[in-house]
Each structure stands twice: as C-alpha cells, then as structure tokens.
Structure 1
C-alpha cells in the first residue's frame, strides 16, 4: 500500500495546559505547530533551565498501533545518533497513553521556509547539501536510513547550519518493506525503488532525495519530465549538473554509492578543485519518479534570481510541523545577483553603446557641414571605442 498522498484526517492535540499537567517537569509551554502525525511545543525544562522542543503524537494517531510504533522508532533512532547536523533527543516516554519526545530546540526555520520557493546561491546550496550528506552518512554508518529527506525536514539555525530532523520514517538499512506494508514518503523526493516491488532501499535512496533537493535549491523547482539539468534552468556551474544527475539516476547502481561520496564531489568544487574524470551519467529524459512538466520547453521557463538564506531571530522547534510541503509559499529572503561580474558587464556594455551613439551623432553632424570627421585629443575616435564592445558579452 502506498501512502505518499494520505487523505486528510481530523487532528487533535493536547492543549499547553493539558501537556503541563502530564509533564510537570516543563513549563512555559507553547504550541508551535500541528502536523499530520505530531504536535510540536516549545517549553522550558525546569531542572536545567533550558528551552526544549516537545513532540507529542496527536490523539488521532495515538489510537493507531502503526503510528505509535513509528513514533517510538523515531525516538530510538534519534537516540543512537550524535552529530552536529542531526537533531538531538533528550527524553522519550508515555504518560496516560500520550507518547512524547523531548528534543533539541533549534533556533531558526526550515529550509522549506528559508528557500522561499526560489533558487538559492549555488555555492550556498552546495555547502548546505554537503553538510547534510555528512550528517546522513553518520546515520547510515549506524545502519539508519532517513527515507524522508526534503526541505521541511532540514532546519537552518541562526548560524545557517543545517540540522536534519524528523526520523519518523527512518528504517534500518538491513530491513525491507514487506508486501502489503504501508509505504510512506513524500512525492517527488522518494526514490523509485522504494515505491515498486520488492520495495528495497539502502543508503542510495537518501542519496536520491538529496539529489532532488540539490536540484530544487539550484533552480527553485523540482526536477521535471522531460528532464533538464540545473544549468539549463538557472545560471549554475555545469559541474553541479553531473552531481545532480548522478544522485537522482533512476537506477540506483548508477548513483553515488554513499552520501560521503556525494559530499566529496561537492567539496571539491567548493574548494576550487576539479572533479575526478568520469563519464557523465545522464538521467533519462523520462524519469519514473520526476514530476511531469506542464511547460517542457526551455523558453517557457522564467529566469530566476538566486537568493541567499539569511538568519532570523525567531525560534522553531526541533521538528517540522508538516510532511507535505513541496508546493507551499515561504517567507522572503535577501536578494542577490548570482554573478556580480555579469551585472558590471551589462552596465559597461550600455555605457559603450551610449558612447558610440554620441560619436555617431557627432560624425553625422560633421558630415552635414561638409567636413571630414577628425579624431581629436578631447574625443575618442570610433575605432578606439569599437573594440571594447566584445568585453560586454
């Protein structure tokens, strides 16, 4: 059974007062968000005087043994991991049938919000993905697959550091989904082998999701069918095309064998090194797990100005509120040009064009008076102005 697009259900969650009655070790409780499976609260741990995030399984999901098991699995998985780019867990328990997880409270916002549905500067995107790759490599080394990497599940803290959250769909690497078992995931980000028999997945499923996410950050949109590499959609270094196309190849044997290998190639580009010579692994134009494009022609795709993610002062919890997020609108960011050099070239070209027009006007005026055009020390000649034009390209 595929549950990538679950039908909406009535969601209820404890009020802050009700939660405090169950968890008296915490006060200043504030409801932050309610998602399809859990409610997230901001609270103060009284004994240590620190701010924490408390995630509670909603009343609706608490009635399901399957969701209770998923919630418990999330806590157990998080407890095994210790990495600066993975959210930390402090406690897990059950009170009067209410399951809860106490975890690190991250100051910032989700990447889903921060990207604002637009392209992010290419080197900033590469840095975020590289750090996320290393975080997931740590999880993979512990035998844990995330299986739901997407912008909403990556938080950006006040120092613009990515923190991977929501291990609710995590799986042990040696386990396979059984026939008839519900398959969870997010449309567009989930690797094709997760969705078709025998429903097997390894670390390359997370590599696929990272590739989709990287494409989205570089271009402001999910990969489409027919597939176009990032550099065809935005001003992007073509070396990043090779990384994206290898990561999202529908045949997992053609992908990076690990998140560490993908991070290594990203770091090479970021440090000014060349990638190891290898044939470009093209992604087929018709990809079984890429979104269908309603405007497949390149000419119909509007150009985008890349943005930089800026830190903000507000707080968010250690886990996002929603699982479905690939089409939502987001807060604004600070604009920047992808290449300042290109802007200066355009200005220079405009100045040269204006100068040539003035010269042409003077020459025309001189000819009308029956005099030959003469270059003087106070005016550049037309021959001296013309060669500058190619520099404006």
Structure 2
C-alpha cells in the first residue's frame, strides 16, 4: 500500500503544533491529563532498565507514561511505555500482563507499532516499543491537511492493520486519532493495541478495577461503540469497526458523529455512496455493522474502482442527472432511551399487578381501609405510568418535513408526517413502518421507521431510502 504523502500531512501538522501543543496531544493520546499517578523521571527509569538509555519523558496520562530512549546493543531508537502503578492492585496482574504482552509482541505488521520487549522491574510494568518519529492523526486533522481523497487512502491501510490483529484474536478497544500515528515517510502506524483491555479490566477477576484516572481514559466516549458503554464482557472486534467509522467520518467531515448527524455527503463534497459505508460502520447494534473490517476496505475499493473519488459531484448534481442510479440509505435518527422506559415498565407492573394483588390481600386479611389505600396507590401508579410514557415520542427532519413516531399512547403507536397521521401500529415489542415521501428533488424516497421496545430500553431508528429523480 502506498504511503500517505508526508509533505502534505506530517509537515503541515508539525507546523501547526507548538511544543506545548505537542505535549498536550501526546497526553491526550496516552489518556486524560487529569489521570494521576507517580511518574518516574527519565533519570530514574534509566537506572532501572538495563541496556536502554532513557532520554526523555514524552508524555503521560491515565494509560501510563511514554519515554524516548535508545536500545544500546541494537543502536535503535525505542519508546518505553510504563503502566500506572495503581493497576497493581489487581492480584493477578502479573500473569495477565505476561499473557497480553506476549500476544501484542506477535503483532508483526508494517502498520502496527511493534512491541520489542516487556517486563517488570521493581513492580514497574513496561513495554519497549518501536519509536515512531512523526505526528498523531489528531494533529494532522487539526492542521487541516486531510482531504477526503487522503482519508480514503488512509482508511484501507488502517483496515489492513486491524484485520491482521483481529485474525489473531486481538481487539484494540480504543481506536481514535490519538492512537493512529504517521511517521516522516507518511507511513501509518496504529499504537496501543490491547492496552485498554490490559489497563482497564481484569478478565480473570470477579470485579473490574476501580481506577479513577484510567476510567477517564476510557472516557473518549465519542469513539466508543455503544456496547462498550454497558459491558466489557461482550465486546468483540466489531467495536473496533464502530470506532473506525467514527474516525472515518471525522476524516471526511472534520467532525465526530454525535447525536443527530448528517451523512458525510451532506457536509462535504464526497461521493454520496460513501454515506452507506460510513453509516453502516456506525450502526448501534454490532449485528448491523460490517462483520469484518476487511469488508470496509472492500466497500471503499469497489467504489474507488468504479468512479474516481477525485471526480466527486455534489448531491444536487447527482440527483438531477441520475448520476449513480442506486438507492442511498441515510440515517436520520437512531436513539435508545432507558430512563423513562424503565420507570414506565416498573410502574406498569406495580400499578396493574403487584399493588392490586397486595391491596386485595390486605383488604381481606388486615383492614378494608388499608386495602383501599393500596388500591388508590395502584391507580396513581398507573396514571404515573401513562404520563411517563409521554416521553416516548421521537422526531426526525427530512427535506423540510417532520417525521414523528408517537409511542405515548396506551397501546397503538402512531406515525405522523408533519401534522398528518400516516399509520397506526399495534401492540408489539418490535415493528417496522415504511411509507413513501416526495420532497424537494427526491422522488419516491421511502421513510423507514423501526421500533424496538423492551422492558428497560426502547430504541427508535428512522432512515430514508433516497432515490435519484
């Protein structure tokens, strides 16, 4: 794979970074600067590590500290990363560290930062890694050097590295611009493979590590897959695909896809067919994403081979001329609500089941007054359940129209287009509505509304299948 032009990316990024900004970016790359642990000086670490001359501390954060050094016997520059001493509170860290480090050392790939050595000296766990003399992708983005064409060259390279790691059973868990490096030759390198897992949770322990500092590192929530927010046990390689999608979106648009966001082609002049690729990587449910990161690379290469990305058109031109003639899927809304759903479910159970039964029992066994009081409480609980359901209304905008799914009724869901009722649903946990819409230059576009109502969560997804005129 051809490397990315270093003159266009690395040098521009360096011009935009002062010494203080470099340090801040490095600290962000390592973790939150608010994370605190006792960081040894370069001189102190130099005295501990035989065969390595430690030159300077590059940066530190919740994931540890990184130093630049030189491996004397091999006469090469290296990076030394030490882990926070706080994680030593895990009784089985030594065995886990050995196992994870051996796995990381097997990741021999031109686009992955190599691990040369690892060990534990006086209770200090460390890695000796390849030193990348360059900048982070974060600095490159901030410099304004990344064009859509450059982004479309970067992503397949990152896909190759991730696919290689995934094939060995290694999940990164923390893909973000700070962990993607570009050296002076323009070569892309992914850093910190598996360190999030190593630092943040013990697979063998019954409970997770409660480390304030390191949990702040995991707080780069805008790059984390939804399943990483809830549990670590079910996270697999598809979490990396989601994070890659966030990076992809940011490379194309300069923004991260938070909340309600527009497809990339609505933000910048890129091929509208890229929207489907990016949005599929950003699916909330792992089953709806690409299942292998190699599929992302293939999708990009297939588009690239059929139409040069440099000859992109704006959406209006494509729509008017029927440029690509294929249906495009755009995500308008994808939200999951749990707070009010949980309250509604509990109040319904208590109001219609638990309290009436309890009231009847108390009426017969203790006192009619007590029984009637509990019955009144049951009625009040049902009223509260009905009121709390009013929060289950979802809106999205498309070409000047408002699509609304109203789930606030007792049973039937109602779907509105602007102020007109389009369809009434029924009682059920999962359902999908489809209806055509004509607006602006789109003809025959189809709105898809999908609802999944569970006991503790309710998810609403609104998409549009747009077709050229």
Alignment TM class, shorter chain as reference: 0.5 to 0.7
CA contact (8 A) 1:106 1:157 kept: yes
**Structure 1 residues 222, 117: CA separation in 2 closer, same or farther (over 3 Å shift)?**
farther
Q: In structure 1, which of residues 75, 89, 93 is the aligned counterpart of residue 101 of structure 2?
A: 75
1:234 paired to 2:276: no
**TM-score, scaled to structure 2:** 0.54
- TM-score, with normalisation over the residues of structure 1? 0.64
Q: 1:43 aligns with which of 48, 51, 69?
A: 69
1:287 and 1:86, CA in 2 relative to 1: closer, same or farther beyond 3 A?
Answer: farther
Q: Which has the higher contact order (CA 8 A, sep 6+)?
A: 1
- Deviation of the 1:250 alpha carbon: 1.1
Counterparts in 2 of 1:364-383, with a 5 A limit? Answer: none
The corresponding residue for 1:314 is none
Tell me the secondary structure at the aligned position of residue 40 of structure 2.
coil
Aligned to 2:334: 286
Give the alignment partner of residue 134 of structure 1, picking from 136, 140, 160.
Answer: 160
Task: Give secondary structure in 2 for the equivalent of 1:231.
Answer: helix
| Structure 1 equivalent of residue 148 of structure 2 | 122
What is the RMSD of the two structures over their aligned residues, measured on CA atoms?
3.5
The reply to whether residue 218 of structure 1 matches residue 266 of structure 2 is no
Alpha-carbon deviation of 1:265? 1.2
Matched residue, 1:150: 176
Identify which of 75, 79, 83 aligns with 1:57. 83
Q: 1:74 to 1:176 in 2, by over 3 A?
A: closer
2:116 is aligned, of 66, 83, 90, to 90
- SS for the counterpart of 1:286 is strand
Question: Does residue 249 of structure 2 align to residue 202 of structure 1?
Answer: no
Aligned to 2:286: 252
C-alpha distance in structure 2 between counterparts of 1:6 and 1:262, whole Å: 30
Task: Kindly indicate whether the alpha-carbon contact (under 8 Å) linking 1:204 and 1:255 is maintained by their aligned counterparts in 2.
Answer: yes
Which is strand-richer, 1 or 2? 2
Partners of 1:278 and 1:147 in 2: CA distance: 34
Report the 3-state secondary structure (helix = DSSP H, G, I; strand = E; otherwise coil) of the residue aligned with 1:144. coil
Q: Does 1:161 align with 2:187?
A: yes
Cα 1:143–1:106, aligned 2, differ >3 Å: closer, same or farther?
Answer: same
Partner of 1:27: 53
Aligned in 2, Cα 1:9/1:161: closer, same or farther, shift over 3 Å?
closer
Tell me, in whole angstroms, the C-alpha distance in 1 between the residues paired with 2:54 and 2:231: 48
Q: Is the 8 A contact 1:242 1:281 kept in 2?
A: yes
Picking from 44, 68, 71, the partner of 1:18 is 44
Q: Which runs of 5+ in 1 are unaligned?
A: 290-295, 299-393
1:175-186 paired onto structure 2 within 5 Å: 181=208, 184=218, 186=220
* Unpaired runs of at least 5, structure 2: 1-30, 210-214, 310-323, 338-395, 399-469
Q: For this pair of structures, how many residues does the alignment match?
A: 285
Give the Cα–Cα distance (whole angstroms) in 1 for the partners of residues 104 and 280 of structure 2: 29
Q: Which has the higher helix share?
A: 2
1:227–1:284: 8 Å Cα contact kept in structure 2?
A: yes
Q: Aligned to 1:140, what secondary structure does the other structure show?
A: helix
Is the contact made by 2:136 and 2:181 (CA closer than 8 Å) also made in structure 1?
yes
